[in-house]
Amino acid sequence: MSSFSGAVTLAVDAPVAVTASGTFSLIWLLIGLPLIGAVILLVGGRRTNAFGHWLGVLASAASFVVAAVLFFAMLAQPLDGRTQRQHLFDWISVGTFKVPADLRLDQLSMTFVLLITGVGTLIHLYSVGYMSHDRDRRKFFGYLNLFVASMLLLVLADNYLLLYVGWEGVGLASYLLIGFWYFKETAAVASKKAFIVNRVGDVGLSLAVMLMFVTFGSVTFDGVLARASQASESQLTWIGLALLLAACGKSAQFPLQSWLLDAMAGPTPVSALIHAATMVTAGVYLIVRSNAIFDAAPTAQTAVIVIGAITLLMGAVIGCAKDDIKKALAGSTMSQIGYMVLAAGLGPVGYAFAIFHLVVHGFFKADMFLGAGSVMHGMNDQVNMRRYGALRTVMVATWLTFGAGYLAIMGIPPFAGFFSKDNIIEAAFSRGILVGLVTVVGAGVTAFYMSRLFVMTFHSTKRWTEDVHPHESPMIMVVPIAILALLSAIGGLVLNWNNAIVSWLEPVTGFQEPELAVSKLGMEGISLVVVLAGAALGWMLYDRRPVPEMAPAGNLLTRAARADLYGDAVNEAVFMRPGQYLTRWLVWFDNRVVDGAVNGVAATIGGLSGRARRLQTGFTRSYALSMLGGAALVAIALVLVRL
């Protein structure tokens, strides 16, 4: 950090975008390639079964190559030429409301593009092996490509409406992939749950877009963010809170966290790509991208910090109690995204660190999810860690690579998490002692539950069921994990070298050196001690003592954490039951009151008509009499009027 000491740069004016030309006119290909892949695989149907998976890998890899080319082209640009805009077509043009379909490639979206295509390609490769026995493998790759294209659209969009398209696209892909094994009831239910909870968040995003249009008359990044200072603070606060709601839905933050744990019913590569590395971090992207709004709305920023802190602790507590390896990792994902959201709420002190942690989390969490998939692959798809144990003896490669991710997430130097998490802890302490303490405690709990998971899976004693014969996974699965493990090991060091990632992102997010009461080294020391204490506790409890094969009853907190801290129960009591009662009452009202009125009118008229019908006697002479009487009445009336 020394190079930045004293240098305080607040969020600068958004850099002026340059119209993309030359190499940068390839930006559309980033989205186009996986989209073409998805279209071919999903429209081509069974004819593409034979080569479909390799086509999917190729589309993703080609997108990564384009991303790499663009990255080096961007490095060659001067600082003020790095924000590139490519105009695709005029999308909406109604009166003064104009939304062009523009793509924007700057340092922030470039970082995401590299993460999505890079990790995405590795997971595509892994899936070739993992899904090799699935008869719908081609469809799986079609959905994965669709996801990659949507996610790239999300991060490359130059206005909030186009971002919304990508936002919904990843939601759709997530729904399709969680429910990929739709014949399993848990998967089918989980996909619906994820879709519905995400809709709640989407209401926030659409409200934010509408508020932006009302306030600024525009929904483009330039039109909104550059003019944020012209709006009043209350307007910006409402926009910020709406954006936060959107981020909560997509990133599984409190109070919309309940879908993520159930989403683990999907195939493991999906959990790694969508529900750990990329899609669930879209909320963090949204907040960091909208930094100008949050910088000018301190109330919204405080809300972001509070949400991040709550989720950080919730996720960590849940992670401690789960026996399902994927659910424990999902709790950890919630918790780590809580870190990122908290950092993003800190303002210019934290934006760059949030993205830094997001990137390395993408590495180590994808690494560990793929590792978990590899373990499940060898254990007949069992997920109960109480029936694992001592797997290091038979799955050496998985053990080593998972170990790299384990050390990275705990933040043991020099593994990746150390640099990113430590930066966030420092930034949090510069905001306030309470926020700082939450992050340190979270780091300690993280170390405990990750040690628990690691020990129960790879160390301790064998507790296998009799029908399993654990074996190492094929090369095509091990190689992607190994690459991710390498990135987890050295990624943080490389990205933090000379503050590379901070100075790279600074033109977009701004940066401010955190002010610390203690020296940086002291800070790192304190958090390292807490982490080691947590890890030691985990090893003592689960390595030294035998792990029971049946889960013990546990204390109050453990039972609560096993039930996801009653998130579902609260949702059911607060939203679902009242809604159900309201519906029932409405049905009753409809049946009795509305239908009663309509049917009553009909019955009355019917009854009167029945009486009136009796006048039609079929007796001709009575008709003649009534005609005569009528005619006489008319005649009398005429005479009376005349007089």
Partner 1 sequence: MNPNNYLYLSAVLFSIGAVGVLVRRNAIVVFMCIELMLNASNLAFVSFARVWGNLDGQVIAFFVMVVAAAEVVIGLAIVMTIFRTRRSASVDEANLLKY
Interface ranges with partner 1 (CB under 8 A): 613-614, 616-621, 624-625, 628
**Closer to partner 1 by Cβ: residue 545 or 621:** 621
Kindly tell me which of 46 and 611 has the beta carbon lying closer to partner 1. 611
> Toward partner 1, which CB reaches closer, 3 or 620?
620
Helices (H), 46-159: 52-76, 107-130, 137-156
Which strand (E) or helix (H) includes residue 337?
helix 325-345
Q: Which is nearer to partner 1, 133 or 611 (CB)?
A: 611
CB of 640 to partner 1, least distance (A): 19
Cβ atoms of residues 262 and 193 within 8 Å? yes
Q: Are 270 and 313 in contact (CB under 8 A)?
A: no
Residue 588 beta carbon to partner 1: minimum distance, rounded to whole angstroms: 39
Q: Please provide residue 77's backbone torsions phi and psi, each rounded to the nearest 5 degrees.
A: -80, 150
The answer to whether 221 and 190 are in contact (CB under 8 A) is no
Nearer to partner 1, 521 or 615 (CB): 615
Q: Name the residue type at position 76.
A: A
In order, the DSSP letters of 545-614 are SPPPSSPP---HHHHHHHTGGGHHHHHIIIIIHHHHHHHHHHHHHIIIIIHHHHHHHHHHHHHHHHHHHT
Question: Closest approach of Cβ 599 to partner 1, in Å?
Answer: 24
Residue nearer to partner 1 on the CB measure, 533 or 608: 608
Residue 642: CB minimum distance to partner 1, A: 15
CB of 632 to partner 1, least distance (A): 10
Residue 641 in tokens: 């009027």
Query: Could you give the CA distance from residue 394 to residue 404 in angstroms, rounded to a whole number?
Result: 18
What is each CA distance from 233 to 212, 215, 219, 351, in whole angstroms? Answer: 13, 11, 18, 20
CB of 602 to partner 1, least distance (A): 20
Minimum distance of partner 1 from residue 619's CB (angstroms) = 6
Angstrom distance (rounded) from CA 260 to CA 253: 9
**Residue closer to partner 1, measured from CB, 54 or 623:** 623
Q: Which is nearer to partner 1, 135 or 613 (CB)?
A: 613
Query: Which runs of consecutive H residues, i.e. helices, occur in 459-571?
Result: 475-496, 500-509, 520-539, 556-562, 567-571
Q: Least CB distance from residue 638 to partner 1, whole Å?
A: 15
Q: In whole angstroms, what separates CA 27 from the centre of its chain?
A: 24
